[in-house]
Amino acid sequence: MSTTALESAAARRAQAGWRDRLQDWLPRIVLAPSFAIILLFVYGFILWTVYLSFTKSKMMPVYKLAGFDSYERLFAQPSWYMALGNIAIFGILYVGICIALGLLLAILLDQKIRGEGVLRPIYLYPMAVSFIVTGTAWKWFLNPGTGLEKTMQDWGWTSFHFDWLVNTDMAIYTIVIAGVWQAAGFCMAMFLAGLRGIDGEIMKAAQIDGASTYATYRRIVIPALRPVFLSAFIVLTHMAIKSYDLVIALTGGGPGNSTELPSTFMYSYTFTRNQMGVGASSAVIMLMTVAAIIVPYLYSELKEPVR
**What is the phi/psi pair of residue 65, to 5°?**
-70, 145
Nearer to another protein, 35 or 48 (CB): 48
87 closest CA partner among 170, 172, 166, 171:
172
**Shortest spacing between CB 252 and another protein, in angstroms:** 5
**Shortest spacing between CB 70 and another protein, in angstroms:** 13
Give the H or E element holding residue 124: helix 116-124
Burial class (CB in 10 A: 0-12, 13-18, 19+), 70: buried
**Shortest spacing between CB 163 and another protein, in angstroms:** 7
Cα angle value 31/37/39 (rounded, 5°): 95
Tell me 306's DSSP state: P
**Shortest spacing between CB 288 and another protein, in angstroms:** 23
Nearer to another protein, 216 or 274 (CB): 274
Nearer to another protein, 121 or 145 (CB): 145
52 closest CA partner among 44, 36, 273, 79:
44
**Shortest spacing between CB 185 and another protein, in angstroms:** 27
**Shortest spacing between CB 98 and another protein, in angstroms:** 25
Nearer to another protein, 102 or 260 (CB): 260
Binding site for another protein (CB under 8 A): 58-60, 73, 76-79, 139, 143-146, 163, 165-166, 168, 171, 251-252, 254-258, 268, 271-275
Of the chain, the end-to-end C-alpha distance in Å amounts to: 52
Beta bridge partners of 55: 65
How many CB atoms lie under 10 A from the CB of residue 169?
Answer: 9
246 half-sphere exposure, CB direction, 13 A CA radius: 28
224 close to 218: Cβ distance less than 8 angstroms = no
Nearer to another protein, 96 or 254 (CB): 254
**Shortest spacing between CB 286 and another protein, in angstroms:** 19
Nearer to another protein, 75 or 181 (CB): 75
Nearer to another protein, 194 or 253 (CB): 253
Tell me 91's DSSP state: H
How many CB atoms lie under 10 A from the CB of residue 137?
Answer: 17
